[in-house]
A and B are shown apart, each in its own frame.
Chain A
């Protein structure tokens, strides 16, 4: 089993739709969790950290379920500019950072 797995995608959704991505991790000792966004041929950029209590930033909501070892990202009212690859990132121990394979999102007019 891979250390971090994500929905295979791609997701093609119309503007205004709500879309959810899931990510599962195998190491129960994982400590920190993040969602990054990567546009085509660009560097990844932090979208949001994920906390146990869940957190929301505008149209984006991230949730963490430690018992089931998964995190999720919900995007409401999708915009064309949300089209990108979304990367789930898990850290365990102070130096082990694992990126998931990414889920591609295309928002269609």
Chain B
């Protein structure tokens, strides 16, 4: 059983471009969580999704950020018009229920 997969592992964007981060949960997991970790800081919850539904997006910035988890395919975290402050590691986690979460290796976004 493959673990949580994220791609790309590293992403470089210039200010104003769009960033798309993908997360494939573990097989059989229907809950997906996205977290952001700024350099030298802790994990910050962004959004919790189940298939085709956003359950909790209280940690998402109000503008430029969106997330989806379609019926088919990976979950996508989309950042429009990136700014330097968006540079961070973005981790995705999945779980079969509301318990233990399994994390992917993360995508490190660098905005030039």
Contacts and interface: CB of A to CB of B under 8 A. Distances in A.
A89 to B, nearest CB: 8
Interface of A: prevailing SS: strand
Interface residues of A, number: 20
A94 B98 contact: yes
A49 B98 CA distance: 13
A95 to B, nearest CB: 5
A46 B102 CA distance: 8
Contacts of B104: 43
A4 to B, nearest CB: 9
Given A98-B45, A100-B42, A43 B100 contact: no
Interface residues of B, number: 21
Contacts, number: 45
Contact of A97 (B33, B41, B42, B89): B33
Contact of B43 (A42, A44, A96): A44
Contacts of B56: 95-96
A43 B33 contact: no
Contacts of B98: 32, 91, 94-95
A42 B45 contact: no
B105 A43 contact: yes
Contacts of A98: 45
Interface string B43-75: 111001000000110000000000000000000
A95 B48 contact: yes
A11 interface: no
Interface of A: 32, 34, 41-46, 49, 87, 91, 94-102
